[in-house]
Structure 1
């Protein structure tokens, strides 16, 4: 059935748990968007960008589903928010969120999921240290999109948007949380692989 799947490239954790079919791919893509939407509601309100649980969810989705399905899941998440479903942080929605200070981060989620998924398909998610690096790389990609977007927004609304102001608003408050999320995500995914390996060994001896 591998020819009837959106899971292009090497198998990921999801492929070791469920069947690799197009129907299951769609289910996983929707589930990834839903997980991100739920995680977005775990938020500490800050201006201009809140601290949320989204990033961890995004990276887990990318690592678990792979580059194509992970990226599509984040595209779906963004589209659902734009069309009016309250999936963004603090149950917000609409194009105004994308056009606002957080928009670049949401766009960055797509590419972060693609990168972490690509790394996972090269088995970077099997060992703790490499998994941590993969999660950290995904976080860096998110900020690579989020910070320039934030700078543009701040300038448009007449707020200082020099480098230090942008970093103070959009990076510094998130560094510690990003490291913690990367450690947590790496722990979750490597433990999941250990569990799958044990299951396979048990099934092989039955």
Structure 2
């Protein structure tokens, strides 16, 4: 249920999409969902949640931004970002398992690093699929997204310690 919840949460936040002029990649809430679910669920369940998200969208559920779906989306220009959610979730979950998400000052660099993993998969994929040179791929798939990535990392960093406090059992 937790893995399915992570996939559904990511699908929900993917619908918060803002087109970026000149780029096939929109700004979405997906990466916020990836960071939060990975930190909350740990490496295996966090990764499986994102794998389930990618697979469910690939088979036709309207899970990707603007209710897109299908294997052609995964194999297209934005597919590398979707695939990048899987290793990012594993690595963020692994770091969170070691307590790096318990304070905002530790969580912020963790969530920035997690998003960099997504870019590290997504930008080269974009370059290959769209036949772009490196500079153009960075201009279309990375640079416009840096402010949003930092904002989403800050939101996730602020929310995780609160989530851990709320989830801690109260003493009698």
- What TM-score do you get using the length of structure 1 for normalisation? 0.80
RMSD over aligned Cα atoms: 1.0
CA distance in 2, matches of 1:90, 1:174: 18
State the aligned residue count.
Answer: 170
Q: Is the counterpart of residue 33 in structure 1 residue 33 in structure 2?
A: no
CA distance in 1, matches of 2:15, 2:163: 25
Give the corresponding residue for 1:113. Answer: 89
Instruction: Report the CA distance between 1:127 and its aligned residue.
Output: 1.2
Task: Report the 3-state secondary structure (helix = DSSP H, G, I; strand = E; otherwise coil) of the residue aligned with 1:66.
Answer: helix
Give the corresponding residue for 1:188. Answer: 159
CA distance in 2, matches of 1:196, 1:82: 33
Q: Is the counterpart of residue 95 in structure 1 residue 71 in structure 2?
A: yes
Q: Is the counterpart of residue 79 in structure 1 residue 50 in structure 2?
A: no
Q: Is the counterpart of residue 173 in structure 1 residue 149 in structure 2?
A: no
Q: Is the counterpart of residue 54 in structure 1 residue 33 in structure 2?
A: no
CA distance in 1, matches of 2:100, 2:151: 18
CA distance in 2, matches of 1:100, 1:41: 18
Instruction: Report the CA distance between 1:110 and its aligned residue.
Output: 0.5
CA distance in 2, matches of 1:132, 1:126: 10
CA distance in 1, matches of 2:37, 2:135: 32
Q: Is the counterpart of residue 150 in structure 1 residue 126 in structure 2?
A: yes
Instruction: Report the CA distance between 1:196 and its aligned residue.
Output: 3.5
- The structure 1 segments of at least 4 consecutive aligned residues displaced by more than 3 Å after TM superposition are none
- With a CA cutoff of 8 Å and minimum separation of 6, indicate the structure with the bigger relative contact order: 2
Point out where structure 1 has 5 or more consecutive residues left out of the alignment: 1-26, 156-160
CA distance in 2, matches of 1:139, 1:129: 16
The one-character-per-residue Cα deviations of 1:140-161 (angstroms, maximum 9, x if unpaired) are 1000100110000121xxxxx2
- What TM-score do you get using the length of structure 2 for normalisation? 0.96
Instruction: Report the CA distance between 1:195 and its aligned residue.
Output: 2.8
CA distance in 1, matches of 2:166, 2:79: 37
